[in-house]
Structure 1
Amino acid sequence: MKVICQVCMHHCQLEEGKSGICKARKNEGGSIVCSNYGQVTSLALDPIEKKPLRMFRPGTMILSAGSYGCNLRCPFCQNHEISMAGEIDSETLYLSPQDLADKAAEYRSIGNIGIAYTYNEPLVGYEYVRDTSRLVKEAGMVNVLVTNGSASLPVLEEILPYIDAMNIDLKGFSQEYYRKLGGDLETVKNFIERSAQTCHVELTTLIVPGENDSTREMEAEAGWIASLNAEIPLHVTRFFPQYHMKDRPATDVERVYELADTARKYLKHVFVGNC
């Protein structure tokens, strides 16, 4: 019997034993389960600015953890080895929510402030984020989510009580571009709007030549963000050819700065990255 996964806009209809587009959720005995629960592929103590977060606890360190799987198919993904991988082709270490929370507390003595859920798309395994972040919060530490924002609002509501800050990828501002990436712009906009009501939110837009690099699109994007709150920080970052998108050069640095200036007409905090 097919079961429908409700975590994101794809609503994958899965037969017994089959995984969804994200490769991290599957039909097991007639229920959708999170197959990457506790399966950690990456663990590192990072400066919080690498998330990137510029206006949340600047100068601190945070323990960053990732698993496998993603519900988008960005051809330029810098973490494709894990984000595009599934259960079979991932090297993982199992860490229970308590294990990961304890590790965060262990690193407190060297400046760690909490956990960042990052590297792959954390919300394809939102149950692990929810369970771990609750423990981290109880320990008096913070939780940071680095996400593509392509999750349903009921999933978002499950984790929001425990999340202190997010960096959300806003890939561009056209439905056509989001379709190319396997996503949905309205889903992401709804996710951003709700998140910004509850926790600290910063946004990142990677500028890809010939795709989302028009002044008109940035005008629309920055104007919409400002309609929510002009104080929301936006990171305008430079694309480098990688993965399946090696057919074009890196974004012209001058163009990145021009688009950042465009965004500044609407937003108070605009940062340039990868330049």
Structure 2
Amino acid sequence: MIAQRETTPAGNVITNYWHKLDDGRIQCDVCPRACKLREGQQGLCFVRACEDDQIVLTSYGRSSGFCIDPIEKKPLNHFLPGTPVLSFGTAGCNLACKFCQNWDMSKSRQMDTLADQASPEQLAAVAAKTGCRSLAFTYNDPVIFMEYAIDVAQAAAERNLKSVAVTAGYMCDKPREAFFRYMDAANVDLKAFTERFYQKICGASLQATLETLLYLKHETSVWFELTTLLIPGENDSDQELHAMCQWIVENLGVDVPIHFTAFHPDWKMMNHARTPASTLTRARQIALNSGIRYAYTGNVHDSKGGSTHCHQCNSVLLERDWYVLGAWGIDASEGKGACQNCGAAVAGVFESQPGTWGSRRVPVKMVS
């Protein structure tokens, strides 16, 4: 059973990662931003605040909405393909990405955004009842509501459901360890491969994300994949893509899938051009040429770039048309996969047959 969280008189959950400064302010220690707050102030993330000389989570149990998605939408192509996942987020974010495509939630400063409520046990029960195999913390970064996410993950595990984090990985050591202890899979946004981009476009740092990726690879059993949103003229040069892919191969290995996805003008980058499909194809080819075995294109209709191919014989292992699955060429046993044609190992977490959820997106209303 999940331990009861300690709350304040206002009903906010007391968090673990903070300390007092000599000048009386309270520093939040969840992410490298290290917001230093006085009584009543909120961090940049909006949902962590200073109350009664401690840091509290103001959004525990509240959400901007619940929806059943295909797991491929996270995107995760090598984790229980074809299965439904109950997805939700809250409000706020600890990054400030100018291109954010969920800015109405991640940049929200209105508690009205969090109109839906659900306890961890209720979420797990609904996920199980609706046939979901997992729950995903997404739409905004779960790092900032990690206490809620951890409790949901524990409730999910009690019902044999998996937990998925969609995150930028911008967090400090101790919270990182506590958070990923309860995750089964993750998609990590590797937003670019220069500090200039991270600082100028995201208000963050590349190094912190790389440290999270190294931690996931070498200190956990979490299955994880990468996503890079390519923005013309900002992070799509051959030189940067070569450097990124080389780092991935040398530090994470050749089996970590990467998704190159298309940018469309949004929030504070409305004047930038959309990403041409040819850019995604070029990036995918650079990744494959660098030795990465599984590279994908996203946010465009590209069956070849979205399908999984055997790294050894190049046969189709799993055909995808957007989120609809086709040909299946994987022999799976005890969660592990192998090519039916040549027997080469296929990295990921697989069942004997893919799920049949398809491309459906089904909103879910919680009932108290």
User: Normalising by structure 1, what TM-score?
Assistant: 0.96
1:149 aligns with 2:173: no
Deviation at 1:89, TM superposition (A): 4.9
Q: What's the CA shift string for 1:205-225, capped at 9, x where partnerless?
A: 000011101111111111111
Q: What's the CA shift string for 1:179-210, capped at 9, x where partnerless?
A: 01111111000011111232101000000011
SS at match of 2:49: strand
SS at match of 1:154: helix
The answer to whether the 8 A contact 2:65-2:114 is kept is: no
Aligned equivalents of 2:28, 2:114: Cα separation in 1: 25
Pick from 265, 272, 281: which aligns with 1:241?
265
Change (3 A) 1:41 1:212: same
1:171 aligns with 2:191: yes
Residue in 1 aligned with 2:107? 84
Pick from 201, 209, 212: which aligns with 1:191?
212
Structure 2: which amino acid aligns with 1:53?
L
Deviation at 1:250, TM superposition (A): 0.4
Aligned equivalents of 1:205, 1:11: Cα separation in 2: 25
1:66 aligns with 2:89: yes
Structure 1: which amino acid aligns with 2:118?
L
- After the TM superposition, which of the residue ranges 5-14 and 240-249 deviates more from structure 2? 240-249
Deviation at 1:88, TM superposition (A): 3.4
Q: What's the CA shift string for 1:157-185, capped at 9, x where partnerless?
A: 11222211100000000001000111111
Unaligned regions of 5+ residues in structure 1, if any?
none
Aligned equivalents of 1:203, 1:129: Cα separation in 2: 20
1:138 aligns with 2:158: yes
Residue in 2 aligned with 1:96? 119
Residue in 2 aligned with 1:252? 276
1:123 aligns with 2:143: yes
Aligned equivalents of 1:189, 1:204: Cα separation in 2: 13
The answer to whether the 8 A contact 2:91-2:114 is kept is: no
The answer to whether the 8 A contact 1:24-1:87 is kept is: no
Q: What's the CA shift string for 1:222-247, capped at 9, x where partnerless?
A: 11111121100000111111111111
Aligned equivalents of 2:271, 2:110: Cα separation in 1: 30
Deviation at 1:135, TM superposition (A): 1.2
User: Normalising by structure 2, what TM-score?
Assistant: 0.72
Aligned equivalents of 2:198, 2:284: Cα separation in 1: 21
Q: What's the CA shift string for 1:125-172, capped at 9, x where partnerless?
A: 100111110111121110011011111121121122221110000000
Residue in 1 aligned with 2:230? 207
Paired residue total: 272
Structure 2: which amino acid aligns with 1:103?
V
Determine which structure has the larger helix proportion and give its number: 1
Aligned equivalents of 1:161, 1:97: Cα separation in 2: 17
Aligned equivalents of 2:275, 2:116: Cα separation in 1: 36
The answer to whether the 8 A contact 1:98-1:132 is kept is: yes
Aligned equivalents of 2:255, 2:61: Cα separation in 1: 35
SS at match of 2:181: helix
Runs of 4+ that moved beyond 4 A = none
Change (3 A) 1:169 1:42: same
Q: Highest CA radius of gyration, 1 or 2?
A: 2
Pick from 233, 258, 265: which aligns with 2:289?
265
Structure 2: which amino acid aligns with 1:262?
I
Aligned equivalents of 1:195, 1:90: Cα separation in 2: 32
Deviation at 1:94, TM superposition (A): 2.0
The answer to whether the 8 A contact 1:147-1:169 is kept is: yes
